[in-house]
Structure 1
Amino acid sequence: MFEVKYYKDYRHNYLILKDNGCLSENVYQRKMVSENKIRGLLDSQERFINGEVLLYYEITSKQCLSSIYGGKTIGMEQIKKFFIQLKVISDILQKYLLDGSCLVLQPDYIFQDIATGEYFFLYYPDPEEGNLPQLMDFFISRVDSADLEAVEVVYKIADLISREQFVLDEVLKWFQDDVAGGKNKNGLESADRGMLFQKEDCIKELVNDKFDIENKENTPNKDLGHVINKRTLSRIIPIWLLGVLGAGFLCYIMYFYELSYKQEIYLTAGWILAAVLILSPVVWYFGHMLIKTGRIVENKGNDNRIEQNLYCHGDDYANNEMEPTEEYSNTVYVPWTENCENKLYSMDKKSKCHIDLGNLPLTVGKLAGAVDMVINEQSMSRMHAKFSRAGLDICITDLNSTNGTFRNGIRLAPNASEIIEPGDEIRLGKLKFIYR
């Protein structure tokens, strides 16, 4: 087992591994991973402290698998991307004459940049630390039971590993068969070229697959209202001008010609038609604007209600009267540690967001889809902190955040956990909360 420490300086977070004897023996591998930036591996630095060899792995803005999937399931697409990138890094390691079995395939040491979806592996020159069976146990425990294809693949791979018949190329052929059937979108190449895919293109596709779609959905259409107004005016102005011209023509006839009774009836009908042509576009335009304004107000109200439901989980207990359990004269004894509400209440006057800790585990951050609760605050990391239960206690874990997680003014080390108690002040980035 590794002796792991986490360290944070001004701009970087590091995972530190001590020498278990293999770093001193495998100097070539140690130098190759520390002196070269190998794509797909965590960047590492070699340091000598007190006569010991230490490897500092940079994990800034990255999350380990156990943190990402601690509260959600893994689907087929995630499994495909993982094994495809595992194949990519295995082939790259061969160019550097590095042993692929030295990749530490444990959930706590496999990291992902959740902004891009790219995986980063930890290389440590000790083949015995690979532990692929432990990784498959993690996949089995977190696989989406509703995704039958993912369940089948995970159990097949686990069976191959248990029989010591696991070959990565054979597993990727299952995904290649999906490509032939039109199911795969990860850009695998044909087997005629001797490789399943091109390494660089594959990673780029994996990085951009998800976020191209999200960018299209999230790109604001700033000219939409302007286009609608131009289209509306282009329809009603010709009708209005026709009515004005008709009214002018009727005025000309009325003042320059002497009309009979029958002709005056026709003239009156013409005035009615001109009035309809003039007034109906005006009424229609202003009615359309009023309806549009009403919808905007309604949408804002819905957004406010959604935001309140998302962040402000309510003060359900605000009006509840506490029943005394024991009375000493006129003083009521309240064992509030047992009756705590398990909520974090914001102390920020501008952002009144409450975090309900009734349903754990709960991850908090600003990247929608990656966390259980989204808080749109610039000082928050994409995955900032995690709340979990340890027996009867509630723990807070810093998820390698940039601006830090604080308990009573003391900053937690990256990936460190601490028990929180009622009355504690919790700070996530710039947001301050009080635990009750």
Structure 2
Amino acid sequence: MEVEYKKDLRNNYMVIKGEDYEEERYSIKMMEYQSLQGLLALNHKCLDNRVLYYYDITAKQSMFHYFDKTVLSYERLKKIISRILSVIDEVYNYLLNEDNFILQPDYIYLDVTTDEPYLCYYPGYQKNIKEQMNGLIEFLMNKVDYHDKEAVLLVYQLYSVSREEHFTFEQLHNLLNKQIEEMVPDNVKGKREPASTRKYEKTEEEYFTQRNEKQEEKSETTVLQKNKVKRKGILQQANTIQSKRTINRIKAKSDIPVMLERIEDEVEINTYPPATYLYTVLCLTGGVMIVIAALTSGILYNQFGNRMDYTKVCALLLILICTEGYFLKKIWDKKNKQARITPRKSYINPREDQEDPSSLHRDEKDEPEEGDILPEQVDVHEQAGLRASVFLRNTTQSQQEESYDSNPTCFLNEEAINCISEDALSPCINENKEQKEFMLKPVDEINYSTISITDFPFFIGKLKKNVDYCLKNDVVSRYHAKITKEQDQFYITDLNSTNGTYVNQEILQSYQKKEIQLGDEVAFANIRYIFLYDLC
């Protein structure tokens, strides 16, 4: 399939060049005149006996790029798979062929605010939908957060079902519904006890509460003395609890079934060309033919011709061995090897790439178990004022940031492309990022800050929760661009942004990868930067 990306004044499109299939004209009209939820809006045009299918991808990101940085939690995985299955089931009511769906990550688009998936229906595609679903689940398996036990179990079960020879989508639906039912409490499902029993339990509870209050009033002095003794062992108990939790986490992780991740790449190997083997066969065949010719011509016999002269035989064999050895050495010289690129598949265990158990104390936060005594419980009143002030400050800051996450991108006119807004806000960078070597230095250093490129791929946009650098400006898209590194070369890719990404004043097409070098000018809409080496 030939795919390209185009923009007009208001919308972005993914354009697929196809053929005009008479049997698919009904589906094309159905897609154009019916707005089906969960499908990319389709419009087709005919040009030079070719059909161009225009799919509206405005304010959406392809699944392939969307999960470059983020990982799949249980809720997100369940939502995406459920919605995809629902869309496939729904199109059956409109007499559309389900094998015309493209379930490749490059052609599935997600709404960046709601994670709602949108599928691409390509008339005449005709690829088995079950095989495509298996490939999609295998892709999602490599994007799951392996710290989320429920997500790992769910994707493993989905993958196991999709690997069966004659599986159905109903089995996937039942598996997802089963997961949902297991999370619903029993009292919500309708399993309630009789009213008389509940009334009795409530009365009994009040009785014991009153009795306990009287006992506490009588033994208040004794309780205070016991609390003093307990406070002495707080630190020792906290250390013991933390060690126990670490052991429980390691055991819990070992119980999670893990599928080996398949990694496909290309490797360069040096091999001999086919001509080497051909020359070897010819060389050996020539030696055998020389021996046969010597025997038939009588050269190896004595002057009377009645018996073989072994001196001549040894001399001939010695000459042949030396000659054959010389030619074979030349043929199989290492200099004759040629480089060849071959695909390679490898499988790795995700647990081996995870952090060591000692990092669990820093990365994971568990709720304390019942009856535990933590050091933070000591002198709680002294910390109350500080915690209140921090909470108020964080609340105010989060309210300001949410306005940018939900704010749609504003369009630029032609005059604004070449100028820089005077009232532009300063960008903010995500925390917990280490500064490395490369950076984007702003042309307007008064209104914008330097972008330190910490790792690759490096995402830039105004949706702070999913990008590496938050550039707060209305002309910047939520997912605007990403910078990648391949060996010693750097590339920038426009992520279907509204106002475009520029390299040396040349606009990039959506999802077009462009090489950048030190000193190049990179612009996000009208905000210009210089790609430099950070000497700090």
Alignment of 1:304-319 (within 5 A): 310=429
- Secondary structure of 1:142's counterpart equals coil
2:81 corresponds to which of 83, 98, 120? 83
Summarize the Cα distance change of 1:375–1:412 in structure 2 as closer, same or farther, 3 Å threshold.
same
What corresponds to 2:493 in structure 1?
Answer: 397
Displacement of 1:430 in angstroms is 2.4
Which residue number in structure 1 is paired with residue 38 of structure 2?
A: 40
How far did 1:144 drift? 1.1
Alignment match, 2:6? 7
How big is the shift at 1:39? 1.3
Instruction: Check whether the contact 2:158–2:175 (CA below 8 A) recurs between aligned residues.
Output: no
Partner of 2:370: none
Please give the per-residue CA displacement for 1:124-161, whole angstroms capped at 9, x wherever unaligned.
Answer: 12221752233122112211111122222222222222
1:366 deviates by 0.7
**Deviation digits for residues 266-325 of structure 1 (CA, Å, limit 9, x no counterpart):** xxxxxxxxxxxxxxxxxxxxxxxxx99xx89x969x98xx989827999989xxxxxxxx
**Does residue 162 in structure 1 map to residue 281 in structure 2?**
no
Letter in 2 for 1:174: L
Mapped partners of 2:29, 2:158: distance in 1? 33
**Aligned residue number for residue 117 of structure 1:** 115
Question: How far, CA to CA, are the matches of 1:74 and 1:315 in structure 2?
Answer: 24
Of 360, 385, 393, the residue aligned with 2:456 is 360
Work out the CA distance in 1 between the residues paired with 2:433 and 2:151.
38
How far apart, in 2, do the equivalents of 1:369 and 1:72 lie? 9
In structure 2, what is the Cα distance between the partners aligned to 1:311 and 1:155? 33
Tell me what 2:408 maps to. Answer: none
Structure number, greater radius of gyration: 2
Tell me how far apart the structure 2 counterparts of residues 379 and 428 of structure 1 sit (CA, whole Å): 8
Give the counterpart letter for 2:133 in structure 1.
L
2:100–2:122 contact (8 Å) kept in structure 1: yes
Encode CA deviations 1:76-98: one digit per residue, 9 max, x unaligned. 11111112211321232122111
The letter for the 2-side match of 1:310 is: I
C-alpha distance after superposition, 1:330-361 (max 9, x if no partner): xxxxxxxxxxx411111224432222223111
1:36, 1:29 → 2: CA distance?
10
Q: d(CA) in 2 for partners of 1:316 and 1:389?
A: 16
1:94 is matched with which residue? 92
* Matching of residues 354-433 of structure 1 within 5 Å: 354-433=450-529
How far off its partner does 1:32 sit? 1.6
Distance 1:407 1:165, change over 3 A: same
How much has 1:35 moved relative to structure 2? Answer: 2.9
Taking a change above 3 Å as real, the CA distance of residues 360 and 314 of structure 1, as seen in their structure-2 partners, is closer
Q: What residue identity is the alignment partner of 1:342? A: F
Q: Distance in 2 between matches of 1:342 and 1:57?
A: 37
Comparing 32-41 with 404-413, greater Cα deviation is found at 32-41
CA contact (8 A) 1:311 1:353 kept: no
Q: Secondary structure at the match of 1:172?
A: helix
Give the distance between the partners of 1:315 and 1:169, measured in 2 at CA.
47
Describe the SS at the equivalent of 1:345: strand
1:83 to 1:25, Cα distance in 2 relative to 1, 3 A? same
Q: Is the contact made by 1:3 and 1:17 (CA closer than 8 Å) also made in structure 2? A: yes
The corresponding residue for 2:140 is 139
CA-CA distance at 1:25 after TM superposition: 4.1
In structure 2, what is the Cα distance between the partners aligned to 1:173 and 1:314? 42
Change in Cα spacing, 1:65 to 1:170, as seen in structure 2 (3 Å) is same
CA change 1:119–1:80 in 2 (3 A) is same
Residues 435 and 452, structure 2, Cα contact 8 Å, conserved in 1: no
Q: Displacement, 1:177?
A: 2.5
* Cα distance change, pair 109–425 in 1 and its aligned pair in 2 (3 A): same
Letter in 2 for 1:6: Y
For 1:19-418, list aligned pairs within 5 A.
19=18, 21=19, 23-125=21-123, 126-128=125-127, 130=129, 131-183=132-184, 310=429, 341-418=437-514
Contact residue 73 and residue 151 of structure 2 kept, 8 A: yes
1: CA distance between counterparts of 2:466 and 2:433? Answer: 24
Alignment CA distance shift 1:385-1:24 (3 Å): farther
Amino acid at match of 2:97: D
Looking at structure 1, the residues matched to 433 and 445 of structure 2 have their Cα atoms a distance apart, in angstroms, of 16
Contact 1:17 1:56 in 2 (8 A): yes
2:177 corresponds to which letter in structure 1? Answer: Q
**Preserved CA contact (<8 Å) 2:45 2:53:** yes
In the alignment, the residues of structure 2 paired with residue 411 and residue 180 of structure 1 have an alpha-carbon distance, to the nearest angstrom, of: 50
Query: Where do 5+ consecutive residues of structure 2 fail to align?
Result: 191-384, 402-425
Q: Structure 1: how far apart are the matches of 2:165 and 2:182?
A: 29
- AA aligned opposite 1:386: K
Secondary structure of the corresponding residue to residue 128 of structure 1: coil
How far is the alpha carbon of 1:432 from its aligned partner?
0.9
- Which amino acid is the alignment partner of residue 7 of structure 2? K
Contact 1:346–1:352 under 8 Å retained in 2: yes
Report the number of matched residues: 301
CA distance in 2, matches of 1:178, 1:315: 39
SS in 2 for 1:26: helix
Counterpart contact for 2:438–2:531, Cα < 8 Å:
yes
Match of 1:383, SS state, is coil
SS, match of residue 511 in structure 2? coil
| Residue 414 to residue 309, structure 1, CA distance change in 2 (3 Å) | closer
**In structure 1, what is the Cα distance between the partners aligned to 2:429 and 2:468?**
10
Distance 1:362 1:314, change over 3 A: closer
Give the TM-score taking structure 1 as reference length. 0.63
Seen in structure 2, the aligned counterparts of structure 1 residues 167 and 98 have a Cα distance that, compared at 3 Å, is: same
Relative to 1, partners in 2 of residues 1:314 and 1:432: Cα closer, same or farther, differing over 3 Å?
A: farther
C-alpha RMSD of the superposition: 3.3
Q: What is the SS of the residue equivalent to 1:180?
A: helix
Q: Distance in 1 between matches of 2:101 and 2:117?
A: 12
Q: Distance in 1 between matches of 2:79 and 2:517?
A: 40
Distance in 1, matches of 2:438 and 2:100, equals: 43
Change (3 A) 1:162 1:407: same
Q: Secondary structure at the match of 2:491?
A: strand
Which residue identity does 1:140 align to in structure 2? Answer: M
